[in-house]
Structure 1
Amino acid sequence: MPKNKTIKTDLLIIGGGIAGLRAAIEASKHCKVLLITKGKAGESATEKAQGGIAAAIDKIQDSTEFHFQDTIKAGAGLCDKKAVEILVNEGVSRVIELIKMGARFDRAETEGGTGYSLAIEGAHKRRRILHAGDETGAEIERTLGSKIISDGLVKISPYTIGIDLIIKDGKCIGATAIDTYNHLTLNILAKATIIATGGICQTYLYTTNPGVATGDGVAMAWRAGAEVQDMEFIQFHPTSLVAFKELEDIIALPRFLISEAVRGEGAKLINVKGERFMPSYHKQKELAPRDIVSRAIVNEMKKTKSKHVWLSLSGLGAEKIKKRFPMIYKTCLERGLDITKENIPVAPAAHYFMGGIKTTIEGETNLPGLYAAGESVSLGVHGANRLASNSLLDGLVFGTRAAKTALKYLKEVKQLPKTIKTKAGKPCSLNKEKLESIRMTIRNIMWKGAGILRNGKGLKTASQKLKDINQKLDYQPKNLEEVEVKNLGTVAGLILKSAIDRKESRGAHFRTDYPQTDNQNWKKHLIYSTKDKA
């Protein structure tokens, strides 16, 4: 059993991706900051992001208004216009700050005179996506991490996973956590707390997300009484690399993402019969919004009774492929596939979460002292379907905002309690093998019952199975596996509840029994709190 330790800080940040790191940089100039991350420093979905970061830095060919329009259109009627205005306008400044911190984006001479190579991806009308080869997220993570190290103001605790938020008199005053490296149970008392734990897509069997994306922050916030919103909206990326080795699918390793930027440079989707199909589905063809491309691929797979379609790069040329997409080229080559000569087998996989903890545009939740930013948040900036390459921008912009708001709040907090009593709770009776079996069962249930194409019968069947599982997960976790499996069950239940309730199709939520968009009854956000049973 881990030993107990109490830690005090001004600001606790849970999560070490782009939103958490940017919040830490902003806040550490003014207060004491502790950032905890459950993996090693830098291990997050940010690190895996390939395509780029969207910002209208080209004032000749592009504008923030064009970026605004594209984002609103992709969001299928559920974007908050004020949030999108903030994203596209403040986003330009945040990206310029990132460049000044040392971010090395690809350079090129352009008509707009920016000096940067700007890519185009699905549902964008202009080239506005800055990139660092096909490893943009890793470059941004490196830049922010280097800034934190050089400033020397943020204390980082890696291999530390949050368990639950600490609530006293209706206010959040920190969180309990497990330091898995030093085998300590931590009571972290903080004047303000920011959740920036990223996504939830490990709830699905096939996902591009790293293993850390188990929805921990959303589950913690929910249990503490925070409202959640838009839980039904899961974005499935159209082009993940289908495993060559059957074992990879059996154990459900994260699928390698084939960036949308590849299609932006001219790659074509063809079915196993060799037929190009996207022109018959949407006028933007391969660059249609992700939900449309994913459904088209699933439809073609069903028609041809295959497990994938092909992504053809034949029109790009070997030199361009190797220069523009070196990591994709290398990774595929390591798996025996030369993409300069062969097509890539691809299929959709769970990729991004548009739902999450409900916040204001300032990062506030309904719990005083608790703030949130990044993929764990739903504030209407992405609506029902996120525009490609807006996620990294979201983390930068709203991570900064959440930090500024938290700073104002914590200045008013006079003092923290010296100690805090936490409930012991019922211990987990499941061994590691049983927990792993439950984890895989949840992921299978969600893939089959709440995937790209949904219907009421499948959703309700999945929901009943999840309720039975969640009864077994009513315990106080004491290690990483127990925390993650409990959180996966919590988040999966919320996704299913929201998907059952929304009786229409909109954006990434498509129901075959309600295939039409119903603006009269359903152009609204579905919001839940713990008074609603998931």
Structure 2
Amino acid sequence: MAKVDFLIVGSGIAGLSYALKLCEHFQDKSFHPKICLITKDEPFESNTRYAQGGIAAVIDSDDSYEKHINDTLVAGSHINNEEVVKLVVQNGPDRIRELIEWGTQFDKSDDGDYKLAKEGGHSDHRILHFKDVTGQEIQRALLDAIKKYDNVEILSDYFAVDLITQHHLGQDVTRYRKDTQCYGVYALNKVSGEVETILSKVTLLATGGIGQVYKTTTNPSVATGDGIAMTYRAKGHVAQMEFVQFHPTAMYQRGHEGNAFLITEAMRGAGAILRNSKGEDFVKRYDERGSLAPRDIVARAIDSEMKREGKDHVWLDASVIDEKELKSHFPSIYEHCLKQGIDISKDFIPVAPASHYLCGGIVVNTKAETSIKNLLACGECTCTGLHGANRLASNSLLEAAVYAHEAFETALQLIDTTEWQELIPDWNKDGTTVPEEMVLISQSRSDLQRVMSNYVGIVRSNERLNRAFKRTALIYNETEDLYKKTVISQPLCELRNMITICYLVISGAKERHENIGLHYSIDYENK
């Protein structure tokens, strides 16, 4: 049993920013808390790493908070929490300055000003970026910065299995209980194969998104919704899971499923145009903003055009962008496509929507507090109210940075009034046997992904959702039987988490009887 003061689950921009702030705060204090960050892979692997476009903030004097706030509300169909939108937008520039102080490089023009890109739904140029690998650059800078401190321990290959609450003391914990408290986590040490108990005074979940529940996603393999699923099992509040954002332009490769290569929206911001098989700028038939309309509109337009033409993809024409700018601003995309035999300065890129971002998640207030005491959360695993029914491009990294700061402020208040709960039992592994063939787990995961892609995608219906619910219930029952009798493993735990996520997405979609933002059902087309 390990005891730490601050436990962080996840190593993306949210978790690392929070950890850095704690390190800096306590560096010269008489109290030296134990800070521990665990990640189920190596620290560099996170959703943050794959963010291409950039981070949105009001930097230019011609821009304004009011415009960024309005753009965010319009994209979110005005069901955003306006207080949260103001909080994130107005605190964004300060968080950007911190990222820069920690070593993040953003592209500048020859005169030394930051190059600000424009993306779909934005009324101004406000996207700071580092070529087309912004997330990777932020991740690099944060990891380099945290290495300078010796008051944080980073544990790789530690998979958080479950949150520890009063449930593990034999008490009845329900979703209506007001005093549910988090005491830490049970975590699988992937090297030893043992489940360890990590007690903490304050726990932060920064576990990222859910992209892997779909068969094609821009997310890495680690994005299985672990933090959301753990919180739901612990009877924490989760909301708006029906709002799953599909990025309009993932590179299409015939016969390929799984992780798709993202073609950043910044390319359309630079002038690239979506075209159908006839070469037509078809998105303008769906929205006057054309290829720079918000993502929910563009993704549905592509989906509709593909079905109308009977095609598996549409085309992105980047040849209209100056070749020098194309190669300097989008070098990784240029090189990746070239390896596939596509010279994007001349050739169209085949693209199709892919699962990309979750706008719902663990419900938190403006202090990053969840409904469970001493459990904080920030980043994509949360539902802050910022995004509403659809995320405005490049607001995600911004939200993570702002809420990491709010979580830090809250954690400082909690630490002085919290003690460890030392009566927690060790993980109970009685009755478990050697795992069954891995094919049982991998097949169930594949089945789940196909159910979600076929029935709970960009366009839905009540019949599709009901079918998805029944199929998911069957996979759930099979997996729970397997879980009860076999030794814990990451693939099995991830499958359980993915099933929980699917249930929450389907349930949210079934309960929303309107077409709004990212949720679109053919049953409500004319209502």
TM-score of the alignment, normalized to the shorter chain, above 0.5? yes
Measured against aligned partners, the alpha-carbon deviations of 1:437-473 in whole angstroms (never above 9, x if no partner) come to: 0000000000011000000000000101101110122
Distance 2:113 2:203 in 1: 39
Per the TM alignment, residue 425 of structure 1 is displaced from its structure 2 partner at its CA by: 6.9
Residues 194-209 of structure 1 correspond to what in structure 2 (within 5 A)? Answer: 194-209=204-219
Distance 1:303 1:152 in 2: 59
- The reply to whether residue 449 of structure 1 matches residue 455 of structure 2 is yes
Per the TM alignment, residue 419 of structure 1 is displaced from its structure 2 partner at its CA by: 5.1
Q: TM-score under structure 1 normalisation?
A: 0.92
Distance 2:223 2:353 in 1: 18
- The reply to whether residue 40 of structure 1 matches residue 46 of structure 2 is no
Distance 2:426 2:264 in 1: 48
Segments of structure 1 that go 5 or more residues without pairing to the other structure are 1-5, 518-534
Distance 2:278 2:292 in 1: 21
Name the counterpart of 1:400.
405
Per the TM alignment, residue 415 of structure 1 is displaced from its structure 2 partner at its CA by: 3.9
- The reply to whether residue 75 of structure 1 matches residue 81 of structure 2 is no
Name the counterpart of 1:25.
20
**3-state SS of the aligned residue for 2:216?**
coil
Letter in 1 for 2:149: D
Name the counterpart of 1:487.
497
For the structure 1 residues 272 and 382, does the alpha-carbon distance in structure 2 shift closer, same or farther, using more than 3 Å as the test? same
Distance 2:365 2:281 in 1: 43
Letter in 2 for 1:373: C
Structure 1 residue aligned with 2:52, among 27, 50, 66?
Answer: 50
Moved more, 398-407 or 155-164: 398-407
Structure 2 residue aligned with 1:219, among 219, 225, 229?
Answer: 229
Structure 1 residue aligned with 2:314, among 309, 316, 336?
Answer: 309
Name the counterpart of 1:357.
362
Measured against aligned partners, the alpha-carbon deviations of 1:361-420 in whole angstroms (never above 9, x if no partner) come to: 111111111111000000101111000000000110101211221231122013441653
- The reply to whether residue 191 of structure 1 matches residue 201 of structure 2 is yes
Name the counterpart of 1:325.
330
Say if 2:199 and 2:421, in contact at 8 Å, map to a contact too.
yes
Letter in 2 for 1:161: F
Residues 274-289 of structure 1 correspond to what in structure 2 (within 5 A)? Answer: 274-289=279-294
Say if 1:26 and 1:404, in contact at 8 Å, map to a contact too.
no
Letter in 1 for 2:162: D
Per the TM alignment, residue 153 of structure 1 is displaced from its structure 2 partner at its CA by: 2.4
Per the TM alignment, residue 181 of structure 1 is displaced from its structure 2 partner at its CA by: 2.6
Name the counterpart of 1:431.
437
Distance 2:214 2:311 in 1: 20
Measured against aligned partners, the alpha-carbon deviations of 1:69-114 in whole angstroms (never above 9, x if no partner) come to: 111111112210111111101111000111122111000168xxx7
Per the TM alignment, residue 265 of structure 1 is displaced from its structure 2 partner at its CA by: 0.4
Letter in 2 for 1:55: A
- The reply to whether residue 464 of structure 1 matches residue 450 of structure 2 is no
Distance 2:431 2:444 in 1: 18
Structure 1 residue aligned with 2:10, among 4, 12, 15?
Answer: 15
Say if 1:333 and 1:339, in contact at 8 Å, map to a contact too.
yes
Per the TM alignment, residue 183 of structure 1 is displaced from its structure 2 partner at its CA by: 2.9
Say if 1:266 and 1:313, in contact at 8 Å, map to a contact too.
yes
Segments of structure 2 that go 5 or more residues without pairing to the other structure are 27-32, 172-179
- The reply to whether residue 230 of structure 1 matches residue 240 of structure 2 is yes
Distance 2:306 2:19 in 1: 44
Measured against aligned partners, the alpha-carbon deviations of 1:137-170 in whole angstroms (never above 9, x if no partner) come to: 0010011111111123221001111000011373
Letter in 1 for 2:75: A
Moved more, 187-196 or 468-477: 468-477
Distance 2:514 2:278 in 1: 33
Say if 1:20 and 1:196, in contact at 8 Å, map to a contact too.
yes
Measured against aligned partners, the alpha-carbon deviations of 1:2-29 in whole angstroms (never above 9, x if no partner) come to: xxxx111001111111111111112233
Structure 2 residue aligned with 1:385, among 367, 381, 390?
Answer: 390
Letter in 2 for 1:12: L
For the structure 1 residues 421 and 135, does the alpha-carbon distance in structure 2 shift closer, same or farther, using more than 3 Å as the test? same
Letter in 1 for 2:490: L
Name the counterpart of 1:172.
182
Say if 2:132 and 2:329, in contact at 8 Å, map to a contact too.
yes
Letter in 1 for 2:101: K
Moved more, 427-436 or 88-97: 427-436
Distance 1:88 1:516 in 2: 35
Residues 86-125 of structure 1 correspond to what in structure 2 (within 5 A)? Answer: 86-108=87-109, 115-125=113-123
Say if 1:505 and 1:516, in contact at 8 Å, map to a contact too.
no
Say if 1:504 and 1:516, in contact at 8 Å, map to a contact too.
no
Per the TM alignment, residue 283 of structure 1 is displaced from its structure 2 partner at its CA by: 1.7
For the structure 1 residues 306 and 415, does the alpha-carbon distance in structure 2 shift closer, same or farther, using more than 3 Å as the test? closer
Structure 1 residue aligned with 2:251, among 227, 241, 248?
Answer: 241
**Considering only aligned residues, what root-mean-square deviation do their CA atoms show, in Å?**
1.5
Q: When the two structures are aligned, how many residues end up with a matched partner?
A: 503
Distance 1:307 1:490 in 2: 30
Per the TM alignment, residue 431 of structure 1 is displaced from its structure 2 partner at its CA by: 2.5
Structure 1 residue aligned with 2:161, among 163, 171, 176?
Answer: 163
Measured against aligned partners, the alpha-carbon deviations of 1:171-197 in whole angstroms (never above 9, x if no partner) come to: 100000111134332100001111110
Say if 2:56 and 2:128, in contact at 8 Å, map to a contact too.
yes
Distance 1:145 1:479 in 2: 27
Distance 1:472 1:288 in 2: 42
- The reply to whether residue 257 of structure 1 matches residue 262 of structure 2 is yes
Distance 1:480 1:228 in 2: 23
Say if 2:214 and 2:355, in contact at 8 Å, map to a contact too.
yes
For the structure 1 residues 116 and 516, does the alpha-carbon distance in structure 2 shift closer, same or farther, using more than 3 Å as the test? farther
Say if 2:252 and 2:313, in contact at 8 Å, map to a contact too.
yes
Measured against aligned partners, the alpha-carbon deviations of 1:290-349 in whole angstroms (never above 9, x if no partner) come to: 000000001111111100000001211322211110000011111221111110000000
Say if 1:27 and 1:404, in contact at 8 Å, map to a contact too.
no
For the structure 1 residues 341 and 34, does the alpha-carbon distance in structure 2 shift closer, same or farther, using more than 3 Å as the test? same
**3-state SS of the aligned residue for 2:165?**
strand
Per the TM alignment, residue 426 of structure 1 is displaced from its structure 2 partner at its CA by: 6.3
Seq. identity, %:
41
Distance 1:414 1:47 in 2: 35
Measured against aligned partners, the alpha-carbon deviations of 1:201-237 in whole angstroms (never above 9, x if no partner) come to: 1001111000000000000000011010001000000
